[in-house]
Amino acid sequence: MRIGIVCYPTFGGSGVVATELGMGLARKGHEVHFITYARPARLSGFHANISLHEVGDVNYPLFEYPPYDTKLSSKLVDVVKYENLDLLHVHYAIPHATIAFLAQQILWEETHKYIPFVTTLHGTDITLVGSDHSFASTVKFGIGRSDGITAVSQFLKEETEKVFGVQNDIRVIYNFIDFDRFSKSNKEHFRRAIAPDGEKIIMHTSNFRSVKRAEDVIRVFKKIKDVIPAHLLMIGDGPERQNCEQLCRQLGICDNIRFLGKQGAIEELLAIADLFILPSENESFGLAALEAMACEVPVISTNVGGIPEVNIEGVTGFLSEVGDIDHMAANALKLLQNDDLLIKFRKNALAQAQRFSIENILPQYESYYEEVLKNAHAKTLV
C-alpha cells in the first residue's frame, strides 16, 4: 500500500505513534510518505520505503497567523497525486482531519481520484482542545467526514461519542511498543553515575504541559526521599518546567533531582529507573507509561482517562485520584521498600506491555486500512 501519514513532528505522543507506525509499515513493505512541517523527532536514519515531504514556512508580511492549513492541504494534493497514494492517515484531529477532507475534495474535483483518509484521535484533540467551543464544530465535521476513525483507547472512543455525539463507527486500536527498541538493557555504569550509593531512581517524562501535573511528581518524590534515599530524573520540557524547578528549590531537594530536558534515547534512561510517575489530570492512553512498562518499570499513576487500560492497579503499578500526593507516595514506597514486590511488578509490567507489542497492533491498522479502502470504492461524492 502507498500510505501518506500526516502528524505533528514533535516529541508529543501523537507524533511518536505516527512515526513508529510509519516506520513499522515501511518495514513490512508498504511505501510510506510522511507529510509534516519538520522531520519527525522519532524518525531516524534512512529507510528504503520512507519519504518525507515537508510543508514549508509561509512568510509574507500580511500573515500575522501563517496559513499553514492551506499549505498542508495543497501539499497533500500534490503528494497524493504525484506519489499515487492509496490512503491518507492523519494523526490528531486538529486541524488534520478537516485538512485531509479539503484535500480529498480538491483531488476529486481536479482528477476524480477519491483518496480515503483515516483519522486517529489521540486525546487532547478531543478532551482538551476539541471540546473547546471555538474548535468543536470543525473537529466534529472533520471526524464525521473521515473514511475511518480510530481512537487509542476505549475511554477516548466513548469520550468522543459523548462530547461530539458522532455517529461514525470508531475503532479502538491501542498504541503500541516496539520491543526492538524498548526493552531493558544493562546500563549499570549509568546507574552508578546517577545513584552511586544504590539509591532508588524515579523517573517522569512529559511535555510539561499543565495537564501532566509535573509538580505533583516533585511533591510525591519529596515524600519518597524523606523516607528512603532516592533520585528523580525529569525528562522533557515545556511550560511547567520552570515551576517544577522552582518547587525543587523551595522544597530544598534540588541535589536529588535532575532536569535532563528533551531526550531521544528514553529507553536508555528507563533502563536505570525503578519507578515511573505519571500524575496526569487527563490522559487518553499514557504512551509514556507503556514505554516505561516495556522497560520493566512499574508505574505510579492517576486513574483517569485511558490509563487504567494500560496500568493495572496492584499488578503493574498503582493508581490514585488526581492530586492525591499522599496516596501516590505511599504506593511508591510500598514498592520501593520491598525488593521482592518490586521485582514481581517489574515482570508484570513487561507482560502487560507485551500485549501492546507492535507485532500485535500493527496488523490491526493494516486490516483497518483494507476495510476503509474497500468501503471507499463504494462511496461517491455529492
- The helix (run of H) or strand (run of E) holding residue 232 is strand 230-235
User: How far apart (Å, rounded) are the C-alpha atoms in residues 382 and 376?
Assistant: 14
Query: DSSP class of residue 349?
Result: H
To the nearest whole angstrom, how small is the minimum distance from the Cβ of residue 121 to ligand GMT?
A: 9
CA-atom Rg of the chain in angstroms:
22
Nearer to ligand GMT, 18 or 85 (CB): 18
Number of residues lying near ligand GMT (CB under 6 A): 20
Considering only 5, 14, 217, 342, the residue that binds ligand GMT (CB under 6 A) is 14
Binding residue (CB under 6 A) for ligand GMT from 286, 345, 346, 365: 286
Element (H, E) at 294: helix 287-294
Scan residues 143-182 and list those touching ligand GMT (CB under 6 A): 152, 175
Kindly state whether residue 95 participates in binding ligand GMT, applying the rule CB under 6 A. no
282: contact with ligand GMT by CB under 6 A: yes
- Least distance in Å: CB of 370 to ligand GMT? 22
Give the 3-state secondary structure of 85-121: CCEEEEECHHHHHHHHHHHHHHHHHHHCCCCCEEEEE
First-to-last alpha carbon distance for the chain, in angstroms, is 27
Nearer residue to ligand GMT within complex by CB, 92 or 221: 92
b/e map 351-381, b = 16+ CB within 10 Å: ebbeebbbeebbeebeebbeebbeebeeeee
The reply on whether position 285 binds ligand GMT by CB under 6 A is: yes
Query: Is 296 near ligand GMT (CB under 6 A)?
Result: no
Under rule CB under 6 A, which residues in 196-255 are in contact with ligand GMT? 207, 211
Closer to ligand GMT at the Cβ: 10 or 49? 10
The residues that bridge with 54 in the sheet, in sequence order, are 36
Out of 274, 283, 291, 296, which residue is the one contacting ligand GMT (CB under 6 A)?
283
Cβ contact 279:304 at 8 Å: no
CB 281, min distance to ligand GMT, A: 8
CB closer to ligand GMT out of 213 and 222: 213
Q: Whole-number minimum distance, CB 208 to ligand GMT, in Å?
A: 10
**Residue linked to cell 511528581:** 217
Q: What is the C-alpha to C-alpha distance for residues 51 and 212, in angstroms, rounded to an integer?
A: 33
- One-letter identity of residue 133: H
Question: Does the footprint of ligand GMT cover residue 131 (CB under 6 A)?
Answer: no
Report which residue type is found at 275.
L
Q: Cα–Cα distance between 192 and 17 in angstroms, integer?
A: 32
Q: How far is the CB of 232 from ligand GMT (least distance, A)?
A: 19
List the one residue from 3, 4, 9, 12 that touches ligand GMT (CB under 6 A).
12
Angle between helices 339-354 and 325-336 (to 10 degrees): 100
Identified binder of ligand GMT from the candidate list 3, 5, 6, 13, rule CB under 6 A: 13
The helix (run of H) or strand (run of E) holding residue 231 is strand 230-235
Residue closer to ligand GMT, measured from CB, 17 or 118: 17
Q: Give contact residues for ligand GMT (rule: CB under 6 A).
A: 12-15, 17, 92, 122-124, 127, 152, 175, 207, 211, 282-287
